[in-house]
Structure 1
C-alpha cells in the first residue's frame, strides 16, 4: 500500500475568497520577549477567532482559525513576522569504532518475513549459532505520526502530546504504531522485531483519525519535541509524512528542533518524484530516506534527489514488502497476513528503519557532535560498507541522475 502525503493549498493572507470562510493560519512572531499566548490574546481576541496552538520552543507564534480578512488584520500588526495558510498533511506512507553487546533473539520471534532486519545487519547470525539483535538504544525516539498504541506490550512507549482534534490521545488509525514497531518493537517473542528493540518511543500525535493533519499540528509536535528533547533524552525524531510545498514556518521549527540536538529522519515520499521542493524531505537539516527492495534496487515509486543540496542528506533503507504490525482494526488496510499484520511498501517504512539505526549509532558513541555531523556519520558508514564489500552491499546509490543513497547499515553498532 502506498502512503503518499499531500498538501491542500490555500490562498494568501491578503486575498479573501468569495465567501471568506474561516480557515487555518500559522502566525509567526518577530523576535522579542513578549509571550506568544499574551500576543495571541491581543491580536486574535478582538477578532473573536479561535486560537488552536501556542508555539514557544520551535518558533514563537500560534495557530488560529480565521477568515482571510481577519488573518490580514493580524498580519498588519508590526510584531508579526508572517501569517501562513494552514495546510492539510497526510501520512507518507577521529572516531573509535565500538560495538555494543547484542542479545539473542527471543524464542517465538518470527523473522522469516522481516528481510529488512537481515539486509541492514540489525539481526545477524551469532558465532556459536542462533541469531542476535541489538539491545535498546540509550536515547529516545519521537514518532510524529498518527500516534502510537500506548497499550502494546511490544512497545516501550509513552505519551508525549496530542496536537490533533481527535479526542483519542493514542493511535486509532494505525500508521504511527506500525512505524514505531519498525524502530523499536521489543525482543520479547512477539510478532515483529524492531531495529533497536525496546528503545523508548515518544508518541507525538500530529495526524488524526483519518491519517491527516495540518501544518499547525505538525509544528505543534515539533515544538513539543524541541521543548522536551533535553529533559526526556529525545535525540531522534521520525517524520513519515510529506507535503509537496516547503513552508517556511515548518522549516524554522525543524531548524530549532535540530539546534536542540535532535536528528530528524524523514520519508522521501512516494511518487516517484524529486523530493527537493517537498517538506520536510527537502529541508537540508533532515536525513531523508528513500526506499529499496529486497534486491537492493531503488523502489520504482520512491522519491529521489537530483541536486547536490538534497544528495548531501539522502540515504536509503528497505521499504518494499516490509512486514509490520499495527492495530487489529486499522485505517490503511493492514490485514493481508491477519488482523493488524501485513506486508506493505513505502518510504513511510524506510524512514523509521533509518531512525532506529541513527539511535543505535548515537548509543554506540560513534555518532557524536551536532545532528548534521551525526547524519554525515551514518551516511559515511553506509558508503564505507558498500565499498568494503566490493559494492555488493546496498546496490547502486543512483540510477542515472536520480540519487537514492547508500543503504543504511546497522551492523557497525
Structure 2
C-alpha cells in the first residue's frame, strides 16, 4: 500500500498538489482544504471538492434537488466521506460535490454546506433531502434558508416504529399525492395524541409527497440517491485521502463519458406513460413539449454531461506546493483493530444486539437446513471417525489372489 499510494501521513499533504493540478486542468473547480493548528503544527481537518464540469452541468441541466449524506471511511483514518448528489432527466444519480470530514458534527456540516452554497448560490427552486441527522438539518437551514427541506421517510419510520405500533396508515400518508388522502390517513395516525407531539418535535421537515413543491419535479420520499452513491464507492473507502479524492474524480470522469454517449443516441421521446396521455388527446396538432417539462428534455440531459472531466498525470508530475509546515494527520484517534468494510446494520434490518437478544435460544431457518459433512480425522485425514477413536487398519489384500500381497 505504501509503495502504491504513499504513506497515510503524506496523503494529506499531497491534497495540495492534487488541488493545484486539478485547478490547472479545470480552473472553475472549487476545492477547499481546512486545517487546524495544534501546538504550532497544522493538522488536516476537512476537505471539499466540486469539479468544474459537475458545477456547470448541474446549473445547466439540473433538477432542483440535492441529496446529502455521508458514509464512514474504513482506512487508517476513521473520517467520513460527505456527498451532495442530484438527479438528471433520467432519474440517474448526478454526483455534485464530495468532501472529507472527521465526524458528523454540526460544525463540520455547516462548513460543508457553506462550501456547497458558494458553488451553486441561491437557486430560485431547490429541495434538499437529508437523513435523520439533526446537525445536518441545521446546516441546511443555515446555508440554504429558502430551500425546501425534506426528510428521508425510511429513516423517519425506523425511529417511529421504535415508539409506536400500528404504522399501517403512515406509509400511505407519506406516499399519497393528494392532500385529502394524506389527511385521511393522518387522522387515523393522530388518534394517538403522542404521535403528533413526536412528529412535530423530532420530524418537522417535509416527509410526505402531498407537501412537496410540484415545481421541483422530484417526488422521492427517501434519500436513496445518496445511498446509491455510497454503494457506488464502497470498494474504495479504505484508500488514503489523496488517492480517494482522485479515484472519485476518475469514476465521475468515466460516468460522464458513458452518459455523454447515451445522450448522443437519445431520440427525444417521453416515457410510455406520457405517450399514452399525449396520443389520447382529441386535438390534431399536439406538441409533446406541452406535456413534458424542460427538466426531462434531451437538451438539458446533454448539457449536464457535455463537458469533459480532464484526466490527470501521475502524481510525480503534479505541481509541488510549498507549505510553511508539513501538514500533519488528523488529530482524531482511530479505534483499535481492523476497520470494518460494511456498515453495522440496525436491529430492524436484521442485525445488532437487539435482534440477537430477541432470537436468543431460537433456531434460525438457516441453522435448521444446515447439513453437516462427514467427520474427518485430524491426524490421518480419514473420513468417518475422529482422532480420539482411530479406526483399525482394515486394509486387506484387494489384489487378485494370483498376484499376491504387495511387499
Query: Which is bigger in relative contact order (C-alpha 8 A, separation at least 6)?
Result: 2
- Scaled by the length of structure 2, the TM-score of the pair is 0.21
Structure showing the higher helix proportion among its residues: 2
Structure showing the higher strand proportion among its residues: 1
